[in-house]
Amino acid sequence: MIRLGITYRQELDCLSDELCQLIDVLEITHGSSPAWWTGPITRHLVRTSSGQRLSLLQPTLVQQAVTDDFLASSHSGNAMLLSVHLGYPCAIHRIGAHNFPLSPVVSEAEAVARFNESLRLVRSLYPGTLAVENLDYHEGGAYEHICTPRFISTILENNRDLGLLLDISHAEVSAVKLGGLTAQYRLQAAREYINRLPLERLVEIHLCAPVVSGNDLADTEHAPVTEIELALLEELLSLPQLRVVNLESTKNELDQLRTISEIMKHHRCSRAD
């Protein structure tokens, strides 16, 4: 069964009654789940307890962040899935413009080695389903290596019990920017990019839309999903390891959840036929 979820924010508390009817799982990025939710949760760690952006490049920082999170919430260790961003090939980048490195950018081989070490440390603390999320490529240096399907595949090959969390908006941005394309080609570019990933390891999907500005594309606002994201979602629902489809959009959440739920229901009925 594929569960439908949403990333928790305090602003969702006023929608709790409706959400309890629509979702099967709640994604928590920090702290504990709200009192109104008693169902399954997933944990998505993107920052340390002090607010620093988490990166697999820094194993000690990652280990401490996971430990602090588990200590802060009695539910964390029982999450059905724990996910982290892949991270960046530099330790420090400019706040508010994290595509500009303020520390040396390591080689691809060193990034792989450090990411593997971080994942081994996380695995030693968490025995459940562990996944890494693809990021959205930015020019400037801080995203070198990490957004290519080859790099993502290498990390998954080196960690046999690791799952893939596919952020569709991130995939659209990376596909367009790495391919030297414009935003109008994002559907086909994203489809080709996604198909180069190790989809047999896909356990979760994050859903929102990138923002289109002229010919450019950026994942800056967690915008509502469009027909493009929904089309890509439909193409992935048959993958056998997929466990969660999670909405990250921060606008019109209920309408989007209903639409996604209908797509998932139609898919289940089609397979049953």
pLDDT: which is higher, 15 or 91: 15
d(CA 47, CA 27): 15
Per DSSP, what are the bridge partners of residue 101?
93
For the chain, give every domain's residue range: 3-272
- How would you class 208 by CB atoms within 10 Å of its CB: exposed for 0-12, middle for 13-18, buried for 19 or more? buried
d(CA 266, CA 108): 42
Encode pLDDT of 48-59 as tens digits. Answer: 777 777 889 999
Encode pLDDT of 148-165 as tens digits. Answer: 999 999 999 999 999 999
Q: What is the pLDDT of residue 76?
A: 54
CATH superfamily membership of 3-272? Divalent-metal-dependent TIM barrel enzymes (3.20.20.150)
Q: What is the pLDDT of residue 104?
A: 85
Average pLDDT over residues 160-172: 97
As a dihedral over the C-alpha atoms of residue 102, residue 179, residue 201, residue 109, rounded to 10 degrees, the angle is -40
Encode pLDDT of 210-243 as tens digits. Answer: 999 888 898 888 999 999 999 999 999 999 999 9
Q: What is the mean pLDDT of the chain?
A: 91
Range scoring the smallest mean pLDDT among 62-66, 72-76, 165-169 = 72-76
